[in-house]
Amino acid sequence: MERTTLTAIEKAAKEIRKQILKIALERGGCYLAQACSSAEIVATLYMEVMNLGPSQGAWRPAPFPGVPGPGNMDYQKGSLYNGLPAPDRDRFFVSCCHYASVIYSALAATGRICPDCMDKFNVDGWNMEMIGAEHSPGFENTAGSLGQTVSIAAGTAHARKLRGESGRVFCLLGDGELQEGQTWECVQAASYYQLENFIIVVDANGQQVEGAIEHQMVLEPLPARFAAFGAECVTCDGHAPEEIIAAANTAHPGKPLVILCRTRGTTGIPPLEKRWPYLHFVRISEAERAEYQAVYDAM
């Protein structure tokens, strides 16, 4: 796979933040902090770490009438934007489905969908939904409730190992999902079945819908917990593409790999610091608009 420069990855990450800040300004709000925390993670996965095939998805967003019954199941699968499944290709599962805007923007930044795709974001009747599902660009499956997709991804990795396929399975998680017991059952099972082809990438931004994770249910020490459940866990700066790449190259024979990316949900957009830790969904008021607009203009 041709290597991507770190400068190109950082440029794509900035474009992801810019696209989602634009949406927040135009429509009054968005999952903006998630873009701030995960932009480098997702850009690095797409541009350097994952071995995906060329996109087979439609170049432009597509109308989506819904799925009321079995007669309306001919919509295009979102997974096609990550390429067709092949024994030697990786697959990408997004568990944190409210990161959909980040995934769409990353697809645009990496040439897998048209640059102006976000014009249809969260518009009724289109596939660019705010909460990603199996018809949403870049999504393998409908990812709710949180904490369930990781098991789907691990099951896929298990099947691929049984078939002798060389391709890996990546799953992006938010750290709030680590409060779900099913997540730890999945890690335990992946360890038992020695799924070295399974890589969990955690956006550890320390926040959830109710505020700071440490104020709701303490999770640390996460590296020790993952190790206790049988995984190889590597911690890195989730805003440093070179560290993410190095973590993804960690040897982990006979074990699933967990890349614990420490991030901040305000990176690149300083006014968000005033809201910490209540950043789950950011609504920009008229009183704040000028400040956020100035940040956007500087981008």
| CATH number of the domain bearing residue 84 | 3.40.50.970
Confidence (pLDDT) at 226: 98
Spatial distance between the Cα atoms of 107 and 75, rounded to a whole number of angstroms: 19
In a domain, 157, yes or no: yes
Q: What would you report as the CA-atom Rg of the chain, rounded to the nearest whole angstrom?
A: 18
End-to-end CA distance of the chain: 30
Contact between residue 76 and residue 62 where contact means Cβ atoms under 8 Å apart = yes
Among residues 203, 245, 201, 265, which one has the least CA distance to residue 6?
A: 245
Spatial distance between the Cα atoms of 137 and 201, rounded to a whole number of angstroms: 19
Confidence (pLDDT) at 3: 56
In a domain, 201, yes or no: yes
Among residues 139, 180, 132, 124, which one has the least CA distance to residue 31?
A: 132
In a domain, 66, yes or no: no
Q: Please tell me whether residue 230 adopts helix, strand or coil conformation.
A: coil
Task: State what percent of residues in the chain have pLDDT above 70.
Answer: 96
For residue 97, list its beta bridge partners.
Answer: none
Confidence (pLDDT) at 102: 98
For residue 91, list its beta bridge partners.
Answer: 169
Confidence (pLDDT) at 218: 80
In a domain, 177, yes or no: yes
For the record, the structure tokens of 7 come out as 């400068």
In a domain, 204, yes or no: yes
> Going by C-beta distance under 8 Å and a sequence separation of 6 or more, which residues neighbour residue 181?
none
In a domain, 10, yes or no: yes
Residues of the chain with pLDDT under 70: 1-4, 67-73
In a domain, 1, yes or no: no
Spatial distance between the Cα atoms of 245 and 46, rounded to a whole number of angstroms: 11
The β-bridge relationship of strands 198-204 and 169-174 is parallel
Confidence (pLDDT) at 228: 98
Number of domains, the chain: 1
Spatial distance between the Cα atoms of 220 and 212, rounded to a whole number of angstroms: 13
Confidence (pLDDT) at 2: 45
Q: What domain range includes position 204?
A: 6-57+76-298
- Residue 54 per-residue DSSP state: P
For residue 134, list its beta bridge partners.
Answer: none
In a domain, 70, yes or no: no
